[in-house]
Structure 1
Amino acid sequence: MINPIVRLVECDLGYFFILKHDTVISKQVSETGDYAKEEKQYLSNFLSSGMTVLDVGSNIGTHAVYFSNLVGGRGKVYCFEPQKTVYSILCSNILLNTCNNVVAYPYAVGEKNTDILVPSPDYTRPNNYGGYSLLHSVRKESGKMITIDSLQLDQCDLLKIDVEGMELDVLRGAQALLRSYSPVIYLECNRAGKERPIVLFLEQFGYRIYRHGWKLLAVLSPNDFQGFIDEKKQVNSRIFVSIACLSDLDVFNTIEDAKQKASFPERINFGVCLQISDDNTEFDLLKDLDNVSVDRLSIENAKGPIYARWRCEQLMKREDYYLQIDCHSRFVQGWDSILVEELCKAEDINQNCVISNYPISIDNLQKKHWLDRIGHVNRYRYIDADGIKSHGSLIKLPSKPQLSLSISAALLFMRADLRRKFPYDPDLNFGLHAAEQVLYSIRLWTHGVDIFCPTTHTVATEYQGARDRVPHDVKQVQSKNRKNWPKATWTKVKYLLGLDDIHNVDKIYQENVQNLDKKYQLGSIRSVQDYFEFAKIHDQIKKTFDGYMPSNDS
């Protein structure tokens, strides 16, 4: 008789029973010969013969059988699967592959021993059966939950947890084991709001936590695993938020919203360059806010956004990441964790990179039909003798980070060390779009740094109305001091981009460009022409700027 829900396949692990209608694990085993192959290969770095593994959330046993082979006859694998049908298949695969060192339990794992109800889906209908949580409102049957500590194990080297949102419950029921054996912990963490309590809980035991894709790796002694752990992906890190504020009281709301929405608000430091009138007292409370450093700059001495952002950089301490935003921004829940995850995704493509996009409008942040699109800087909208302006378009949220042509000044995220290596040039007074965004982007590009659009939203900004909050007297002073600076600064930018000769640089910048610090110059890993060709604007650049000499032309 043909079984309506199970079939036998030959795969990389040997012969395996799989669920016919499962849309994830069994399907992948059937189509590719394995499931989570790269993940298991990574975990093999932490295992050797004789070790003990706990596989909490085993499903049909793709990890359990793999672990069994790694730890050998002197080792042990304990696995747990509460769905009765799936548990039966797990046991069959253990027997079929002669895994005599595996002990399987038909239990859920949590923070207490108790009777529970376990999902019992219809296995004749296509579904991701491994994606069911105990909290799902589906057909259920009686079952049991146990704690890991109740097993009183005498060894544990790796604790792998995949329990659909109940990871913290498993850890709470394993505190004695964590204290006694300090196993490497590898767990799923892909649900909003779950990361913070897990990280804080594990830190109590001295763990260092790292991201590995959308999983978390926790180890007590990272030095024991050098070569297998990327320190740059540590979760226990700090973010510096740079905010250039031109007399906009919404900066208070921006900081408050950032703190409220952060997964780890205590690890966020703000640096604000506050450009205001000397007699202004409305911002006095800003300096008293926790984790906020303020550089108060008289509006008489302000020199535009680039100079203000440079002054923000001087407020950085020992943070791990740098985020640049506008002073009228709002945030999605868990924005800090999401940004780090997005940067890690981009770094898997190019280790030297930043992420940036046009933020969604604050007005649209709560509108679902806007949330499936993101502002990608992917074209140029203006190229003429008086300036260059990058632009973009709304694209469907991509499945992986997308290469961009330029940064958006309203959202730029990168490693702090990279920002320290490539700071803003403070001598670009009242520079416009080309100076603030295009020049900086090409600086990064020529140094081998790629710019990526992330796969999801993190920050929103206000595109209209912000200037209306700037006091009239501030606008007047700014207008007076700006004078011809934008034009003069553009001559410097043109020279730095190779679009004009040094003799045509405004006299006010002549000494500056002749003695320009190397950290503000373009790099040599990729040429400016390489960039223009990448951006598909090289022909237009040649037609527009007589002084441009293509560097790659023979």
Structure 2
Amino acid sequence: MIDTGFNKVIKSRHGFLSYNKNDIYIGKSIEKYGEFSHLEAKLFEQICKDKDVVIEVGANIGAHTVYLSKLVGSGFVIAYEPQRLVFQNLCANLAINSISNVFAYQEAVSNENGTILIPECDFTKNNNFGGINIENSKNGTLVNKQKLDNYTNKIDRLKLLKIDVEGMEISVIKGAIELIKKFRPMIYVENDRQEHSKELIELLWSLDYKMYWHLPRLYNENNFFNEKENIFGNIVSVNMLCLHKDSSIQILEMDEIIDSKHHPMKK
């Protein structure tokens, strides 16, 4: 382990990772277990193969980006992360692992092209840096934002669209409708904001997608460091795996979403 201040570098399950030791989820998981949300990554193993193309919106420090890059082999990953220092950490992880098939952008993704202010965090203090809401910020760093529809005629295939954007999922999808209609990718999207869930589900239904809840626990008992202490309890990530209705893929051991008002975290 190399300690450089608020960042450390560690040998993880999928390669070397630089992470913020003050990050209460991603950083703490990498430090304790040598991985982050590997039960999500296990699902990507079943989806992504050599030559595939993946777009990852909200890549954070690249804990999944690094592995996705290996899964697609001679394909490539397009990764977006708008937070300045988090993006720099992402690029460090791509560089330290000699990854050349990822195109990383310090930009936001939305339903329109333009600019957006991204808040700056104090990375020397404990925080959930992956959970920062960037909407309607009055201070911060000005970055570009773009629609994924800009890629409609720039790529020739798209296997997976992965979205983890802390409440901006609807905007991302509205800006990607032509891309989605053209390539019908599998979509893996976070849906942990109950106030947006119904609209998000119905938007994807309107695009002829079927959805399934995927609720992987943050703690993986078969973690890379073989650490038995569970510091996350029963905390799960709340995501949806979405397939176009014409897909022949069968989904096992996941509940199909048939009621847009239902949310698994609703009390």
For normalisation by structure 1, the TM-score amounts to: 0.42
Equivalent residues in 2 for 1:141-540 (5 A)? 141-151=141-151, 152-213=154-215, 214-221=238-245, 224-226=248-250, 228-230=251-253, 233-237=255-259, 264=260, 336-338=261-263, 341=264, 457=267
Contact 2:18 2:89 in 1 (8 A): yes
Q: Separation in 2 of the partners of 1:160 and 1:207?
A: 15
Once the two structures are superposed, residues 223-279 of structure 1 have per-residue CA deviations (whole angstroms, 9 ceiling, x without a partner) of 5322x444x611124xxxxxxxxxxxxxxxxxxxxxxxxxx4xxxxxxxxxxxxxxx
Gaps in structure 1 of 5+ consecutive residues: 238-263, 265-335, 343-455, 458-554
CA contact (8 A) 1:121 1:138 kept: no
Larger Rg: 1
Q: Secondary structure of 2:150's match? A: helix
Contact 2:58–2:163 (CA under 8 A) maintained in structure 1: yes
- Count of matched residue pairs: 241
Cα displacement (A) at 1:198 = 1.3
CA distance in 2, matches of 1:65, 1:138: 32
**Is contact 2:112-2:145 (8 Å) kept?**
yes
SS at the partner of 2:262? helix
Match of 2:64 in 1: 63
Secondary structure at the aligned position of 2:36 is classed as coil
Q: Structure 2 CA distance, aligned partners of 1:176 and 1:85?
A: 32
Contact 2:117–2:139 (CA under 8 A) maintained in structure 1: no
Cα displacement (A) at 1:205: 1.8
- 1:22 is aligned to 23
State, as a whole percentage, how many aligned pairs show the same letter. Answer: 31
State how far apart, in whole Å, the 2-side matches of 1:65 and 1:136 are. 30
Query: Alignment partner of 1:337: what SS?
Result: coil
The equivalent residue for 1:376 is none
Task: Output the CA distance in 1 between the equivalents of 2:56 and 2:134.
Answer: 17
Query: Counterpart of 2:195 in 1: which secondary structure?
Result: coil
- How far off is 1:57 after superposition? 0.2
1:48 deviation in Å? 1.0
Matched residue SS, 1:224: coil
1:220 partner amino acid: H
Distance in 1, matches of 2:137 and 2:207, equals: 34
- Which structure would you say has the larger RCO, counting Cα contacts within 8 Å and 6 or more residues apart? 2
Contact 1:121-1:139 within 8 A present in 2 as well: no
Q: 1:140 is matched with which residue?
A: 140
Question: Gapped runs of 5+ residues in structure 2?
Answer: 216-237
Is the alpha carbon distance of 1:173 and 1:223 closer, same or farther for their aligned partners in structure 2, counting shifts above 3 Å?
Answer: closer
Question: Counterpart of 1:235 in structure 2: which amino acid?
Answer: I
SS at match of 1:225: coil
Q: CA deviation at 1:221?
A: 4.3
The aligned residue for residue 98 of structure 1 is 98
For 2:185, the aligned partner's letter is P
SS in 2 for 1:79: strand
Deviations 1:308-363 (A, max 9, x none): xxxxxxxxxxxxxxxxxxxxxxxxxxxx513xx26xxxxxxxxxxxxxxxxxxxxx
- 1:139 CA displacement: 4.9
Read off the aligned partner of 1:224 and give its amino acid letter: S
